[in-house]
């Protein structure tokens, strides 16, 4: 058997192991929507830490992170900057949301927001927004899985087939087990990925340059010091401005905890202490992003000109004299990175589409109130969403980090509404609706027509400015929400 197929065999064995680990936990929770979406609200610290933590180690980290370090230098440090700050809001929002979920049966972010602002239309709008922003995020994971299997097999496994193999497994365990399948596979995948990340991050610089310090010295001596000069480069090779870098960190940090597949895990936490401890411990995952970036830096001089840059990790593995079993394990770890985010995203998208979208139509709500019907509808919605994301993964040519960074501008528009939900009693229904629509509109305008930007900052920042201005102005001019509803949230 050739080395290529040994590597592929290890990767396929990993996929099968993940499938078993994902399906078995789902047998232990109730068959209700609460069991499927929130795991009967029983997640302990270990599971919650890895469910949230492993979501960092996605295709974005294992492929996009090294890709940016390889092609854009220290610009990749923006990942660590926003990851350190991004979970802080959940220290305050998370316990409140969890308590309200236990008391009133909430399972999604939009259920909270639509109740606070007394707007079924807001719920439907958020369902649409959630699916729209999560599909690019899921597409990103599928692209990563396809790239890995295609590269390690020397093209024997087509890109489209690689993505289908990995996400066929994800679809199966998410479909049958829901959030508990996501939790246990993420724990397994997280521990595996962390081990692989540190090994590669130390081994490759040592093997190629004699160590991490000599690696950076060599880059400087070869006249590539601009890659080591903050804030790094843009995709066209020109210097990234500090305004662009800072606004990318800001919009990502603001949007980080607003991702529905993150926020929804607050409803699964066992208690407030578990939620707060998870947030406090979460920044430790940033320590494991450093070696991921070292991988990209180590390849700048040794493997120049590799396109697309997102493939640099699997390319390096295939062109170095490494034991074949080790290469197979690393490739499996890279697949784990993709799958550990993709499963949570897929699960959240299906749950939100049904709970916040379809259930707002009276006839559909009546049908889904029958025993376990809602759970089945969520399952089939997950199948539909995965097919749609797979379609975009196969035809899209956008690089992995840019795909994710663009989606952050949209999801960050939820932050002012969530903050006001708990902390600003004067926020009103019209204020919230106007703010969200205005923020998304402005973000999209500057996303598609960047030449209109007056300053070189992320389009999502412009959206947030318009969002907050609209929320405050319209809320002060419109009828206040019933005080009993407001107190329900501000005293949660």
Question: Other CB atoms closer than 10 Å to residue 305's CB: what's the count?
Answer: 4
Calpha distance 263→32 (Å, rounded) = 20
Count Cα neighbours of 474 within 13 Å in the Cβ-side half-sphere: 18
Calpha distance 82→78 (Å, rounded) = 6
Calpha distance 190→278 (Å, rounded) = 15
The predicted pLDDT at position 391 comes to: 84
Helix, strand, or coil here: 301?
A: helix
Calpha distance 388→158 (Å, rounded) = 19
Owner of token pair 């960074």: 405
Give the Cα-Cα-Cα angle 290, 305, 451 (nearest 5 degrees): 80
The model's pLDDT over 356-400, given as tens digits with 9 standing for 90+, comes to: 888 888 777 777 777 678 888 888 888 888 888 888 888 766 555
**Summary mean pLDDT of the chain:** 85
The predicted pLDDT at position 398 comes to: 57
320 is written with which tokens?
């170095």
Check: CB of residue 271 under 8 Å from CB of residue 177: no
In sequence order, the 6+-apart residues with CB closer than 8 A to the CB of 301 are 208, 209, 218, 219, 222, 224
For the domain 3-401, what is the CATH code?
1.20.1730.10
The model's pLDDT over 258-301, given as tens digits with 9 standing for 90+, comes to: 988 888 888 888 899 999 999 898 888 887 788 989 999 999 99
In sequence order, the 6+-apart residues with CB closer than 8 A to the CB of 401 are 60, 64, 65, 67, 68, 310
Using the predicted structure, report yes or no on whether residue 27 has a pLDDT greater than 80.
no
Chain centre distance of CA 238? 28
The predicted pLDDT at position 425 comes to: 94
Check: CB of residue 99 under 8 Å from CB of residue 492: yes
Using the predicted structure, report yes or no on whether residue 158 has a pLDDT greater than 80.
yes
363 is written with which tokens?
């006839």
Using the predicted structure, report yes or no on whether residue 343 has a pLDDT greater than 60.
yes
Check: CB of residue 345 under 8 Å from CB of residue 137: yes
The predicted pLDDT at position 473 comes to: 97
Cβ-based burial of 340 (10 A; exposed 0-12, middle 13-18, buried ≥19): buried
The predicted pLDDT at position 419 comes to: 96
Calpha distance 405→450 (Å, rounded) = 14
| Range picked from 124-128, 454-458, 467-471 for highest mean pLDDT | 467-471
Eight-state DSSP code of residue 412: G
Query: Does residue 300 or residue 318 have the better pLDDT?
Result: 300
Calculate the dihedral angle through the C-alpha atoms of 301, 305, 308, 314, rounding to the nearest 10 degrees. Answer: -50
Of 448, 479, 482, the C-alpha closest to 462 is 448
The predicted pLDDT at position 399 comes to: 55
148: pLDDT confidence band, cut at 50, 70 and 90? Answer: confident
Of 467, 475, 465, the C-alpha closest to 425 is 475
51 is written with which tokens?
């469910």
The predicted pLDDT at position 435 comes to: 96
Calculate mean pLDDT across residues 316-343.
Answer: 79
Using the predicted structure, report yes or no on whether residue 1 has a pLDDT greater than 60.
no
The predicted pLDDT at position 55 comes to: 64
Whole-number Cα distances in Å, 144 to 41, 58, 181, 186: 31, 8, 21, 17
188: pLDDT confidence band, cut at 50, 70 and 90? Answer: confident
Query: Does residue 18 or residue 430 have the better pLDDT?
Result: 430
Calpha distance 98→422 (Å, rounded) = 13
Calpha distance 167→236 (Å, rounded) = 32
The predicted pLDDT at position 413 comes to: 93
Using the predicted structure, report yes or no on whether residue 464 has a pLDDT greater than 80.
yes
The predicted pLDDT at position 231 comes to: 92
The predicted pLDDT at position 180 comes to: 79
| Range picked from 3-12, 232-241, 338-347 for highest mean pLDDT | 232-241
The predicted pLDDT at position 442 comes to: 95
40 is written with which tokens?
């009967």
Domain spans in the chain, listed from the N-terminal domain onward: 3-401
Helix, strand, or coil here: 417?
A: helix
Lowest mean pLDDT among 92-101, 201-210, 211-220, 234-243: 234-243
């Amino acid at each position: 058997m050739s080395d290529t197929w040994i590597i592929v065999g290890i990767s396929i064995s990993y996929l099968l192991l993940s499938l078993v680990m994902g399906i078995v936990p789902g047998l232990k929770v109730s068959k209700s929507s609460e069991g499927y979406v929130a795991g009967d609200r029983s997640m302990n610290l270990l599971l919650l830490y890895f469910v949230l933590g492993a979501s960092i180690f996605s295709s974005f980290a294992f492929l996009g992170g090294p890709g940016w370090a390889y092609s854009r230098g220290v610009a990749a440090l923006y990942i660590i900057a926003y990851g350190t700050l991004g979970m802080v809001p959940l220290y305050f929002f998370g316990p409140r949301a969890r308590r309200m979920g236990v008391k009133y049966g909430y399972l999604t972010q939009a259920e909270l927001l639509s109740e606070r602002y007394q707007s079924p239309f807001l719920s439907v709008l958020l369902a649409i927004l959630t699916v729209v922003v999560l599909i690019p995020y899921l597409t990103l994971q599928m692209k990563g899985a396809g790239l890995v299997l295609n590269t390690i097999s020397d093209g024997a496994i087509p890109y489209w087939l690689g993505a289908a193999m990995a996400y066929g497994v994800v679809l199966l365990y998410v479909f049958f087990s829901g959030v508990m399948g996501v939790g246990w596979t993420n724990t397994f995948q997280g521990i595996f990925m962390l081990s692989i990340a540190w090994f590669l991050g130390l081994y490759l610089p040592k093997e190629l340059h004699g160590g991490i310090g000599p690696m950076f010295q060599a880059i400087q001596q070869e006249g590539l010091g601009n890659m080591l000069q903050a804030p790094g480069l843009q995709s066209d090779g020109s210097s990234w401005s500090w305004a662009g870098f800072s606004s990318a960190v800001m919009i990502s940090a603001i949007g980080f905890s607003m991702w529905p597949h993150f926020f929804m895990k607050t409803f699964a936490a066992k208690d407030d202490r578990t939620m707060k401890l998870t947030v406090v411990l979460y920044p430790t995952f940033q320590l494991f992003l450093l070696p991921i970036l070292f991988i990209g830096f180590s390849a700048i001089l040794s493997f120049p000109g590799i396109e697309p840059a997102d493939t640099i990790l699997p390319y390096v593995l295939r062109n170095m004299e490494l034991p074949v079993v080790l290469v197979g394990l690393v490739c499996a770890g890279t697949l784990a990175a993709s799958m550990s985010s993709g499963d949570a995203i897929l699960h959240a998208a299906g749950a939100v589409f049904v709970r916040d979208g379809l259930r707002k139509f009276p006839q559909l709500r009546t049908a889904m109130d029958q025993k376990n019907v809602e759970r089945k509808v969520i399952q089939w919605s997950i199948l539909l969403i995965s097919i749609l994301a797979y379609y975009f993964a196969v035809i899209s040519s956008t690089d992995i980090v840019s795909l994710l960074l663009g989606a952050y501008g949209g999801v960050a528009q939820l932050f002012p509404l969530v903050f006001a939900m708990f902390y600003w009693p004067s926020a009103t229904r019209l204020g919230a609706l106007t703010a969200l629509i205005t923020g998304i509109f402005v973000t999209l305008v500057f996303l598609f027509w960047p030449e209109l930007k007056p300053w070189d900052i992320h389009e999502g920042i412009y959206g947030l400015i318009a969002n907050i201005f609209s929320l405050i102005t319209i809320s002060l001019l419109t009828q206040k929400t019933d005080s009993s509803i407001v107190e329900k949230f501000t005293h949660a």
